[in-house]
Chain A
Amino acid sequence: MINLVWLIPAFPLLGFLTLICLGKSVREPIAGWLATTAIAGSFLSVLIVFIGMLLEKNENRQTVFTLFDWIPAGDFKVDIGFLADPLSITMCLFITGVGTLIHLYSIGYMHGDPDFNRFFTYLNLFAFSMLMLVLGDNLLLTFLGWEGVGACSYLLISFWFRDPANATAGKKAFITNRVGDWGFMVAMFLIFFNFGSLEYLEIFDILGSNQIAETTTTFIVLMLFVGAMGKSAQFPLYLWLPDAMAGPTPVSALIHAATMVTSGVYLLIRVNPIMVEASTWSTGLIAWVGAGTALFAASIAVAQTDIKKVLAYSTVSQLGYMVLAVGCGAYTAAIFHMITHAFFKALLFLGAGSVIHGMDGEQDLRRYGGLRSLMPITAGTFIVGWLAIAGVPPFAGFWSKDEILAFAWDKNPLLWLVGIVTALLTAFYMTRQVILTFFGKPRYLNAGDAGDAGDAGDAGDAGDAGDAGDAGDAGDAGDAGDAGDAGDAGEIHPHESPWTMTLPLVALAFLSLVGGFIQLPFSSSTKRLEHWLEPATFHNETHLHLSSSTLWILALLALVSVAIGIGVGISTYLKEKIDRQIFEKPSLVNAWYFDSAVSKFMGGSGSKAFTAVAKFDKEVIDGAVDGTGQIVKKTASILRRSQNGLVRTYALGIGIGAVGLLIWFLTRTTL
């Protein structure tokens, strides 16, 4: 049954091809149902392969299924082949599972959009690329998927491209990712140069038998990490992810929360035998970048007013946790958090989308309030998501976050401290978001309030002039303010979403509740995920040297920090005992001014530097190439005059040559 692995990407590819061939000839819901059927078929095939793999023994769970030779060029050989092992199938399970739910949700969310068909075409192409990324048995195929998801991400962020801000956000994502792709490519060159192959299993074999210099593996790991930084939005390449929220909300849920952004983490885990061979400072660096990103992004999320921006920074922060886990050698924990995060972050994004849908496109938290009774299903599921991400037991997030924190403590207590502060902030900003959205008094009715909110939005976002995404937000907030001032012209009637949107919410809420039970830390037999992933982690996992009492204390401290976070959040935003201005500092609202600083640099001195580089390229490098051509051309134009077409001249040339040769031979013999 494992041999059916090729069916997994085949379904979305078929869906994509069908949709692109049919074009606009299919009517609105049909395109959505076609795409959903395609991805659901893919999910079913994953299930079949998964069951087939469960029936196998642990050591037989790794198979390569080669479709055909892709690039046979001398020593360089790349196949289109799928590596089916517990790691890739685990990824496929949640990619297609969550993907199916999000496709279904999109049918409701994208209702009435003139480009309904185009949306689902892209969505299926994305699913195909993502599955190729995960299933590829060599780095080049993974890279193909990597670029494919990047392209789909670009296409979907700037889906509503008629608004220049969205198009800019798409470009920003694409260009920032190029920096990471550069790292990936350099790593591939290095791997081929040193191992002579790009296939994962072959690389690992060579790594086991030959001695590869530690500097080489270190450099490969660092370059792969640069790639992962771009895709998984780690500091300093995280900049694109908050702007990526310009896309439709299902896209944010699928691509920019559950699946694509985890591919960097996946890549690092996939090459874990190389990671183990690399020097400890490089893995330490990975852990610190992850922890730093987690804290940095969580602090920004505290002060964001756009419901999707909060979730975007939260995603960056949670990805930081996963990278921290990878840096600590806790591959299972990273995958575990990836899975639970896919569940609860997709749930939160879809919940946010449902709120935005019900509020006619309003995204400002300050214009929500009291939506609980009007959107009961959305509110209920969102609250489940909140508890899961905040780390309240027994919800999924608690187990996965706790495991990462234990590994962080084992590696370096300072890393644990950063992690626990992040957990506190996470609980706080999620509480803030839930309260501002679903509790308290409705703020979308009162004209005066609305005007204030609009003004505040202008003031807050004015500092972000360089930031295209925020410029759009400022415009929105301003519009909202205007509408409020003009009376009740743009009155909003919040309403619950259709079943296609609420069903995925309920399903994801259920998964967020029980998702943690795949890996419970109590005994060896409850660590199911760890045993399951063994064929792919090759026992390279770090082993915890902590006594169970230490683990209990760490878990308890984590719970205390979560309780503090939620408590402070409630007393600030629900009971309003603490002034919220204490937390919503301008520096946090403006994301530590990092984005605007980068924009300023790139617009000013940076752009000059690049112009100089471009000039150097044009005049010196191109000059050398063009110059060679020019010289050849000029010499040729002189020489070609000798070819005058007169046969007798040629004959004379032959005669003179013959005489010359004769003289040469004669003089040579006499000398």
Chain B
Amino acid sequence: MIITTTWYLLLAAVLFSIGTTGLLVRRNPLIMFMCIELMLNAVNITFVSIGSHLNDLGGQLAVFFVLVVAAAEVVIGLALVVAIMRRRSRTNADDLKILGG
């Protein structure tokens, strides 16, 4: 069985859906974070697979950018989570709706 690009794209789609569902369903900020990472990496897989399919380095290049941005995002996001947890332990994302309009 030859593993074609379609398989990779399918995997990416499944991972992205799992990430999206997790983000929408779970309330624990840490889990939500992981879900976001999952979605980002699903996108990375599509970049790499389509890049190799088209024989274009651009796909792999884009992944590096995504990784860098993701790392930066994690730093800020985790810092926020830590700051929130310090004020109120055992909190979840929905408790923060005091920020609503």
Contacts and interface: CB of A to CB of B under 8 A. Distances in A.
Interface of A: 640-648, 651-652, 655
Interface stretch (B20-28, B49-57, B66-74): B20-28
A493 to B, nearest CB: 83
B24 A646 contact: no
A644 B100 contact: yes
A648 B93 contact: yes
A501 to B, nearest CB: 74
A646 B97 contact: yes
Given A647-B93, A648-B93, A655 B20 contact: yes
Contact of B23 (A640, A641, A642, A651): A651
A645 B96 contact: yes
Contacts, number: 33
Contact of A645 (B20, B23, B100): B100
29 contacts: A640-B101, A641-B101, A642-B101, A643-B100, A643-B101, A644-B100, A644-B101, A645-B96, A645-B98, A645-B99, A645-B100, A645-B101, A646-B93, A646-B94, A646-B97, A646-B100, A647-B32, A647-B93, A647-B94, A647-B96, A648-B24, A648-B25, A648-B27, A648-B94, A651-B23, A651-B24, A652-B24, A655-B20, A655-B24
Q: How large is the interface on B (under 10, 10 to 19, 20 to 34, 35 or more residues)?
A: 10 to 19
Contacts of A652: 24
B99 to A, nearest CB: 5
A272 B98 CA distance: 70
Nearest to B27: A648
Interface string B52-90: 000000000000000000000000000000000000000
A240 to B, nearest CB: 57
Given A645-B100, A648-B93, A651-B24, 5 more contacts: A645-B98, A645-B101, A646-B94, A648-B24, A648-B94
User: Which 7 residue pairs spanning A and B have beta carbons closest together?
Assistant: A645-B100, A645-B97, A643-B101, A640-B101, A645-B99, A644-B100, A647-B93
Interface of B: 20, 23-25, 27, 32, 93-94, 96-101
Contacts of A646: 93-94, 97, 100
Contacts of A643: 100-101
A645 to B, nearest CB: 3
Nearest to B96: A645
A646 B92 CA distance: 10
B24 to A, nearest CB: 6
A641 B101 CA distance: 7
Contact of B97 (A640, A644, A651, A655): A644
Nearest to B93: A647
Contacts of B23: 648, 651
Contacts of A645: 96-101
Nearest to A655: B20
Nearest to B99: A645
Nearest to B21: A655
A648 B35 CA distance: 12
Contacts of A644: 97, 100-101
A646 B20 CA distance: 16
A644 B94 CA distance: 10
